Chain A
Amino acid sequence: MADNKTIRFKIKRQPTPQAKPQWEEFEFPWKPGMNVISSLMEIAANPVTRQGTPTTPITYDSNCLEEVCGSCAMLINGRAKMACSALVDQLEQPIRLEPMSKFPIVRDLAVDRSVLFENLKVVKAWVPIDGTYDLGAGPRLSTVDQEAAYPLSRCISCCCCMEACPQFNDSTGFVGAAAISQVRLFNTHPTGQALKRERLAALMGDGGIHECGYAQNCVEVCPKDIPLTRSIAEVGGEVMKQAVGDLFRK
């Protein structure tokens, strides 16, 4: 019985950013331990649709396949998640694959997420060190502070939080949870906090932190369980404090 068990996929295809999307269906033999990436590899090795029509291999982003590089985010049965850790046996079939909808499409399931990397520049998500020459040990850090910072530093820039956020769209220009959480990370670092004012200033105004509508979808979809809403609340408070302070300084 298990011998002829198959799995079915419905995949949204779009050969170029200008082309009209269309769905293709695939069906092939089930194997134990399959995930969405290994399924896409199967299709590449035998690119024929369920109807028997030859087609092209699916274009998608992937790299580490261990859910740590952040490449393979896509909509799987309508939900933003990492394709490598999406196990076929845990998904309802036919498994629907679509590109994330909030980012410019490149081809098929690949989208352009460079907006996040640009946002990380805007919020100066780095520790401003003096240089790479030997300046001795870094600042001491308590285990409590390390354990607070570490979860934030595990953000893989997959952009699932932005995809799921109702406020992340062209009209708000919202910066999104991932970048805000990085602000929290660097603002709590002993050296990183040198840029705290600038980071908070970058989150004021259009597209800034006040665009957040507290839908809490971000924390729901984050594959790394990063406390994103907590980050938004904390950074939001800081932004508010600074804005009020600026008002009085004027």
Chain B
Amino acid sequence: MAANPKIVIIGGGLAGLSAAIKIAEMGGHVELFSIVPVKRSHSVCAQGGINAAKNLKGEGDSTWQHFDDTVYGGDFLANQPLVKAMCDAAPAIIDLLDRMGVTFNRTPEGLLDFRRFGGTLYNRTAFAGATTGQQLLYALDEQVRRYESEGKVTKYEHWEFLSGVLDGNRVCRGICAMDLRSMEVRVFPADAIIIATGGIGAIFGKSTNSVVCTGSAQSALYQQGCYYANGEFIQVHPTSIPGEDKLRLMSESARGEGGRVWVPKKAGDNRDPKSIPESERWYFLEDWYPKYGNLVPRDVATRAIHKVVYEHQLGIDGKPMVYLDLTHIDRKVLDRKLEGILEIYQKFVGDDPRDTPMKIFPGMHYTMGGLWVDFTQATNIPGIYAAGECEYQYHGANRLGANSLVSCIFGGFIAGPAAMQYARNQKSLATNGYFDAERKRQEELNARMMRSEGKENPFLLWRELGELMTRNCTVIRYNKNLQAADAKLCELLERFQTINLSDRSQWANTTIVFARQLYNMLQLARVIAQGAALRDESRGAHYKPDFPDRDDKNWLKTTKAYFAADADEPRFEFEPVDISLIPPRPRKY
């Protein structure tokens, strides 16, 4: 095959851009597809930092310790060898980003500064103020722009991925995508494709995710035959700011820099928080977890907040909110290390967190599950690779803070070269009949939706989906509710058939695009709900009061969902977890 393969990458966040850079560097040509200009990808929202055990604070940190924290934090559900490889690679990734010009915070000596994050006792998190994801994305975006100006990368921004083009042997030969302005459906041949489409927050209605994080691409590929692994593991971030349009993240770095979570000891105590004396405040995380304090992993902190609010009835003003307090920290330190997030709180809530404790509550944040991939980031369909949040590989049952950025970049750095290697060994395709067929199939789907004369508004259906999933498939799960949720999802899928698009124009029509995403969200939601119903144990972010303990005998295994097209529903298989490096031990913080 061609010495200079053509690789299609879908998604221009950290994972997609990392893969693009590697491929361009290896002499391949990249066609980079993204719904938004890649510089506006969701990676910009990552705030607190990126983990790497560089041990620059004399603490005796090591990449093995990072590996152990990650596996333990993930409650032993991650396959260990690649997690170890990621932790080993992390220090060099930080160096690379530093060389690219990321404005990491510095020590007085001019070295990289590191702070603490959840689930570890070490200062292991490099950071650029509180906008680390933005800075990292920009660094990669700039390198890709450089390759773009050299003709090695072609960008297709404002394009939506619709499906993979599979040949008669079910090998992926390219993609089918839609121009979000002209609404044209087109096929793009490729020697291999890499999916780097991020998270699925929109399935939960309001989340900390960006608008484009619908999981639509992952779901489309799952419906075409890709395995979707560990879908039931959904991270709910302990500290978000509830809003009308989304839940805005309040970074873990607020606690990493000394932020304390508390509620008034007396229910209904509506005094100004600053006038409540220390003795009348309950710092429940410090109380319950003296070793890690406010920096327990996210699943643990989230359940603790739920318990305080719903069991102890101690939410602020009786509402589901607790205080996250930074007011005891020097303003200058806050400005230097956390300004970006303090600004978000100030702009969107109106209070200055330097003066007033913030009011926060847990919000859906991240999916540990995603497309099943092997150690080369290859899915089970030849020619399709995946990297970043859209795949399942690195975080087990719960992700540690500041591990997502490193996993995105590391995954992209594996997926890019692996796709190149695969592409170089491929024989060229004889016929383009599969391309025409796939394009027609997608055009027909669009036409059918445009014609549909029902009465269901896709935006209202989506609200129902979000409320349903948030209520039943987040912090606390009961089998009865999960089964009811799945039944409701079937009903929503049925109602989707009588959808009515309030916009039928053929130019920049966001309604039909959203409707297509919604259908894929509904299909993927069933994987989450059913996967959660099946797993009768509690592990990491997956918590069932009826099965409160981790059950390694029966459930130390990866969930693999596949789509049974004839029955239009998910089916499940399980595979053992590779625990060859660290034997599972009880997880107690």
- A residues sitting closer than 8 Å to B (CB atoms) are 15-16, 31-35, 37-38, 41, 44-47, 54-57, 59, 61-71, 84-85, 87, 106-108, 110, 113-114, 117, 120-121, 124-129, 131-132, 134-143, 146-147, 149-150, 153-154, 156-157, 186, 189, 191-192
Cβ of B237 within 8 Å of any chain A Cβ, yes or no, is no
Cβ of B374 within 8 Å of any chain A Cβ, yes or no, is no
Q: Are A45 and B457 in contact (CB under 8 A)?
A: yes
**Knowing that A65-B210, A156-B44 are A-B contacts, what are 12 other residue pairs whose CB atoms are under 8 Å apart, sorted by A's residue number?**
A33-B244, A54-B502, A66-B249, A68-B134, A87-B348, A125-B145, A126-B142, A132-B25, A143-B107, A153-B128, A186-B101, A192-B101
The interface centre, meaning the residue of A54, A65, A85 with most chain B CB atoms within 10 A of its CB, is: A65
Complex Cα–Cα for A120 and B40 (A):
15
Chain A nearest CB from B345 CB (Å) reads 10
Chain B nearest CB from A21 CB (Å) reads 14
Chain B nearest CB from A247 CB (Å) reads 29
Residues of B close to A107: CB separation below 8 A = 181, 507-508
- B residues sitting closer than 8 Å to A (CB atoms) are 21-22, 25, 36-37, 39-42, 44-45, 92, 95-96, 98-101, 103-111, 128-129, 131, 134-135, 138-139, 142-143, 145-146, 148-149, 157, 181, 210-212, 243-246, 248-249, 336, 340, 344, 347-348, 350, 413, 457, 459-460, 463, 502-503, 505, 507-511
Chain A nearest CB from B434 CB (Å) reads 32
Q: Are A33 and B243 in contact (CB under 8 A)?
A: yes
Q: Are B99 and A59 in contact (CB under 8 A)?
A: no
Q: Are A63 and B142 in contact (CB under 8 A)?
A: no
Selected from A56, A136, A153, the residue in CB contact (under 8 A) with B511 is A56
Q: Are B246 and A65 in contact (CB under 8 A)?
A: yes
Complex Cα–Cα for A132 and B108 (A):
27
Q: Are B95 and A57 in contact (CB under 8 A)?
A: no
Assess A69 versus B145: contact at CB under 8 Å? Given A33-B243, A146-B106: no
Assess A126 versus B36: contact at CB under 8 Å? Given A63-B212, A69-B210, A146-B105: no
Selected from A37, A62, A63, A126, the residue in CB contact (under 8 A) with B145 is A126
Chain B nearest CB from A152 CB (Å) reads 8
Q: Are A16 and B92 in contact (CB under 8 A)?
A: no
Q: Are B100 and A129 in contact (CB under 8 A)?
A: yes
Q: Are A31 and B131 in contact (CB under 8 A)?
A: no
Complex Cα–Cα for A15 and B44 (A):
30
Complex Cα–Cα for A147 and B44 (A):
20
Q: Are B502 and A120 in contact (CB under 8 A)?
A: no
Residues of B close to A84: CB separation below 8 A = 245
Q: Are A45 and B248 in contact (CB under 8 A)?
A: no
Q: Are B39 and A45 in contact (CB under 8 A)?
A: no
Q: Nearest CB to that of B110 among chain A residues?
A: A140
Q: Are A65 and B37 in contact (CB under 8 A)?
A: no
Q: Are B459 and A41 in contact (CB under 8 A)?
A: yes
Complex Cα–Cα for A176 and B106 (A):
31
Assess A154 versus B340: contact at CB under 8 Å? Given A62-B211, A65-B211, A141-B106: yes
Residues of A close to B503: CB separation below 8 A = 47, 56-57
Q: Nearest CB to that of B35 among chain A residues?
A: A63
Q: Are B40 and A63 in contact (CB under 8 A)?
A: yes
Q: Are B459 and A138 in contact (CB under 8 A)?
A: no
Chain B nearest CB from A195 CB (Å) reads 10
Chain A nearest CB from B353 CB (Å) reads 15
Q: Are A106 and B508 in contact (CB under 8 A)?
A: yes
Assess A67 versus B44: contact at CB under 8 Å? Given A35-B244, A153-B135: no
Residues of A close to B111: CB separation below 8 A = 140
Q: Are A56 and B505 in contact (CB under 8 A)?
A: yes
Complex Cα–Cα for A120 and B508 (A):
26
Q: Are B463 and A57 in contact (CB under 8 A)?
A: no
Residues of B close to A47: CB separation below 8 A = 502-503
The interface centre, meaning the residue of B111, B142, B245, B459 with most chain A CB atoms within 10 A of its CB, is: B245
Assess A134 versus B95: contact at CB under 8 Å? Given A63-B36, A120-B145: yes
Q: Nearest CB to that of A33 among chain B residues?
A: B244
Residues of B close to A147: CB separation below 8 A = 336
Q: Are B110 and A68 in contact (CB under 8 A)?
A: no
What 9 A-B pairs are tightest by C-beta distance, nearest first?
A: A138-B98, A140-B110, A126-B142, A38-B245, A38-B244, A56-B503, A107-B508, A127-B101, A138-B99
Residues of B close to A71: CB separation below 8 A = 36, 40
Complex Cα–Cα for A56 and B42 (A):
27
Selected from A64, A85, A191, the residue in CB contact (under 8 A) with B42 is A64
Chain A nearest CB from B128 CB (Å) reads 7
Assess A68 versus B131: contact at CB under 8 Å? Given A110-B508, A140-B110: yes
Residues of A close to B96: CB separation below 8 A = 129, 132, 134-135
Chain B nearest CB from A12 CB (Å) reads 15
Q: Nearest CB to that of A157 among chain B residues?
A: B39
Q: Are B98 and A137 in contact (CB under 8 A)?
A: yes
Assess A64 versus B243: contact at CB under 8 Å? Given A107-B508, A121-B149, A153-B103: no
Q: Are A150 and B146 in contact (CB under 8 A)?
A: no
Complex Cα–Cα for A156 and B149 (A):
21
Complex Cα–Cα for A69 and B270 (A):
37
Q: Are A57 and B106 in contact (CB under 8 A)?
A: no
Q: Are B44 and A64 in contact (CB under 8 A)?
A: yes
Chain B nearest CB from A84 CB (Å) reads 7
Selected from A63, A67, A129, the residue in CB contact (under 8 A) with B344 is A67
